[in-house]
Each structure stands twice: as structure tokens, then as C-alpha cells.
Amino acid sequence: MSAAAGTLEGMALIDVLGDRERLAAAVAGRDARFDGWVFLAVTSTGIYCRPSCPAARPKREHMRFYASAAAAQEAGYRACKRCRPDAAPGSPQWDWRSDVTARAMRLIGEGVVDREGASGLARRLGYSLRQLERLLIAEVGAGPAALARAQRAQCARVLIESTDLAMGRVAFAAGFTSVRAFNRVVAEVYACSPTKLRERAARSAPLPDAGGTIGLRLAYREPFAVSHLFAHLAASAVPGFEEWREGAYRCALSLPHGPAIAALRPGPGYVECRLRLADVRDLTAAVARCRRALDLDADPVAAQEVFEADAVLGASARRTPGMRVPRRVDGAEYALRAVIGQRLSSTAAAAVCARVAERYGEAVDDPEGGLRRRFPSPERIAEAAALPMPASRGRVVRAVAAALAEGRIDVGPGSDQAAARAGLVRVPEVEPRTVEMIAMRALGDPDAFPAADRGVVAGAARLGVAAFPSAVAQAAGAWRPWRAYAAQHLWAAGALSKRRPATDRQEKVKR
């Protein structure tokens, strides 16, 4: 990271854009940390790039900076063919912020504008379309229609380069309403026709064909503790709708137009993503959910700087930089799984979730592996007569499922974190630890912290903190606003401990 960069997180994006000297220094140093935060446009070439683009550096008087690829495209610039700025990691702000702009950006990323229009997006957020357009233009330089247009162009490029679909099918799958609009937008954004894009991709050795799947590469920011993230996903996988197979985490998804299967495998500088979709119109939503599940849009350096300076976490942070928070592809699914797993070990919770999915989940076709079911929807669980668990826990699970189904609790990408937390707290017998876990893994709150979790307490004890939730919570004050990432270090430290934790039954006997 260049000295001029400093910490980006916590700053308003408009402040970053206003600091031209800082941005010019980032371009001079090819600082990849700015990729996705801002986009560099060059007036002399009519091209926009990532700040880290390896091309020759432009003169300062030719530099213009935009908050989004859509804003650069609206200003008449086309995407650089070398650094592919439209495929840069997303701005971390849209992942961790909970204001209207961030919620709108997450919903646009899920393809809501393509399915429901800009007015549908505004209704979801409780704003008028005019108000929403004004907010988005003020902060990211483009309204919802322009942002969705840029996303459609990127989705079209992925389909053009990674499938042999006819161009007409690509156009409608990417969300365009006509082939003419598809051809025009692709030509404007990429300075070549869809056919030329496909020919160029074929010459540059695309990902090998995998029999009916769409393959793409998901970018992320370095550093990235890949082994920690994927080890957690593999260890917590629920048989039947998740699995670890041939070096990839595989899971079943429920998308707007049907089921899907995602296979995510770490690669050198990217995550290889293979998607088997029932309907290719779901590509945008599938990619957004996979990125969110792996926390790929995080800025790992901001948390790293805080942890390295801390007496408790310093050594762990230096040993394992770039921790990510393992999340799930579906927030409602994880919320139900977290409630099902209250007071159970991870192994026992996985077994119960597997039985729930086997009994109430819809079947999926997986010719490449062992996925059999999708996790049942909140509506299905709320209506279930008898869940395979004790009646008292079943009542809590059905209460949460009913609140999710009726919209009284929203843990999706457009949710308000504070409102979702409040809704969970109102459900009787949902424990504070469970609320924090849902906030961390479903809502994406970077400061969620389950201080009473036994793994967190054990890890903190190994690092010298008194083994009491109150002591851990007090120590965690120094890790704000990144306590969710601090928890990953504590869990990793706890896993290194050789002590044998007592089972729930043993602890009850002692008491």
C-alpha cells in the first residue's frame, strides 16, 4: 500500500473522490486498494481503468475520477481492455454500510432493477424513485437505471466469454429488453461487438468447459487468508445441500428464477466460480451471493492495521493477514440455521439442519456431486407441523421463520441492520449470541461480535484474555469497528488449543 493511501474504510466516498492528490498518488503507485472504490478515466484516450491498471500512467491533467463504473460510462468512457475495471472487487462500503445508498447498491447487485425496475427498487427501500435517484447520483454519480445498465453489460460479457449461448439468449439472460440494446451497450462499454468479444476470449484460453456450467473468476483484494475461510466452509458444511469436493466448496442456491448449484475453488489471485443455473437470468444474483458469502469485497488492510497494533491480536494478525468472515449465500437460510443450532455443537447442529432439509427442502439435480436438496424456505418451515428437534426449539425456529416469511425480519441484501437486529431480539428465546452470529454471517455487520461464544472465549484465553465473556467483550472494545474479523482470529486461536472442552452434558453435571 502506498504511503498516500492510508486507511480507506470509514471515510465517505465523496471525501476520497475530492482528494485528487491522494488519488493521483494511488495511480502513480498502482495501488490496488483503490480498485473498486474509484475509477480512473483518461480524457486523452476516452478509457476508464482501475487505479492499479498496468498501462502507462496518464498525465494528471487528463485524469478524472468516478465513484462507479456506471458513472464513468455515463460520462462517455469505455472500459479498459487490459485491467477490466468493470470486474474489479466492489466497493467495501456497499458491503458493510447499512444506509439507503448501500442497501440500494446491494439490491442492484442482486439484479432487482432488472426484475422489478427502478421503481420496484425504490418501493423495497421505502423511498420515491426521485428521492432514490437523487441519493445515488449524489454519492456514486449514477442513478439506479445507469447502475443496472453497467451491471447488465458486465453480466453480458461474462456470458459471451464463458458460454456458447446464442447472442440473443445472452442479451435476454443479462437483462436487456432487446438484442439491439444489447449490441449498442456492449459496443459502447467495450468498444467492440459481442462477436468480437467472444472471438478474443477464445484466443486467450478461457476456463475449460465443465459440461453445462458457467465459469468465471471472482476478484478480491489482497491479503486473503484463503485457507481459513475455506476450512470453515468445509468444516461447517451440512450434508445434502453443502459439501467439500475436489478442492471446492459446493452449495445449492435458491434464486429468483429457480435452483442453482455453485462450486467455489480458491485460485491464484481469484476464486474460481462455477455455476449450474436453472435459468441464466439468475447469473447476476448468483455472483452477488457468492461474492458476499466469501466476503470478497472486503478491504482487509483496514482491519489488519487495527489488529497489528493490538497487544492481544497483533501476533495472530501478522501470522494470518487478510482474514475474511465466512458468510452464507442466503441470509434467511443462515438465520434459521443459527437458531436451530442454539446450544448445540456445530456437528449436532449440522445433523439437525440436514434432517430439516431432507424432510422439507426441494430436490436439486446435481450430476457432478452429492447435493440433494435446497434448504427449505422460511415459508415452508413456518408451516411445518413437526420439525425434527425438541418441541421447544421448534417453536423458536418456526417463530423466526414466520417473521422472515412475513417480512417482519429482513436479513437479505437490502436489509437495515439495526431493524433486523431489533426484530430478532423481539423473538422470545433467540439468544444474544445467536443475534450476533446472524448479524455477522447473514447481515454482514463487520462489528458483530458473539462475546459469549465458547470458541471466541477459548481463543481469547489462549491469547491472554480472562476466559469470561465480560472480559472478552471489554477487550474487544479496542477492535471496533472490525470485531467480526477479530472473532475469526479468536476462533483460529481456539482451534489451536489442545485442551478438550467439556460437552454440554458434562457442564450440566458440574453445575
User: Are residues 81 and 174 both part of a single domain?
Assistant: no
pTM, rounded to two decimals = 0.89
| Contact criterion met (CB below 8 Å) for 54 and 166 | no
Q: CATH number for the domain including 145?
A: 1.10.10.60
Q: Identify the DSSP state of 32.
A: G
| Burial (CB count <10 Å: 0-12, 13-18, 19+), residue 385 | exposed
d(CA 156, CA 75): 21
Last residue of a domain, one of 419, 445, 471: 445
Is 390 inside a domain boundary? yes
Instruction: Match 436453472 to its residue by C-alpha cell.
Output: 278
User: Is residue 338 domain-resident?
Assistant: yes
Pairing relationship of beta strands 47-49 and 63-66 according to DSSP bridges = unpaired
In terms of domains, do 193 and 232 share one? no
Does a cis peptide bond (omega within 30 degrees of 0) precede residue 223? Answer: yes
Compute the radius of gyration of the chain from its Cα atoms: 23
**Residues 168 and 251 placed together within one structural domain of the fold:** no
Model confidence pLDDT, tens digit, residues 489-499: 999 998 865 44
Annotated active-site residue 49? The verdict is yes
Catalytic site includes residue 453: yes
**Residue 84: which of 142, 8, 168, 153 has the closest Cα?**
153
Cα–Cα distance between 66 and 132 in angstroms, integer? 19
Same domain, 440 and 334: yes
pLDDT digits (tens, 9 = 90+) for 79-92: 999 999 988 888 88
Per the structure, how many domains does the chain have?
A: 5
Asked, for residue 368, whether it belongs to a domain, the answer is no
Name which residue leads in pLDDT, 93 or 99: 99
In which order are the strands placed within the sheet that holds 63-66? 63-66, 39-42, 47-49, 78-79
How far apart, in whole angstroms, are the C-alpha atoms of residue 502 and residue 422?
A: 33
Per residue, the 3-state secondary structure of 239-261, as one string, reads CCCEEEECCEEEEEEEECCEEEE
**Which of the following is catalytic: 49, 80, 83, 251?**
49
**Which position among 86, 282, 445, 453 bears the catalytic label?**
453
Q: What is the mean pLDDT of residues 358-374?
A: 93
Is the model's pLDDT at 10 over the cut of 70? no
Domain containing 489 equals 448-511
The CATH number linked to 226 is 3.30.310.20
Place of cell 424513485: 129
Q: How confident is the model at residue 205 (pLDDT cuts 50, 70, 90)?
A: low
Q: What is the mean pLDDT of residues 10-30?
A: 72
Bridge partner list, 272: 217, 265
**In which region does residue 407 sit, left (phi positive, over 0), alpha (psi from -120 to 50) or beta (all else)?**
left
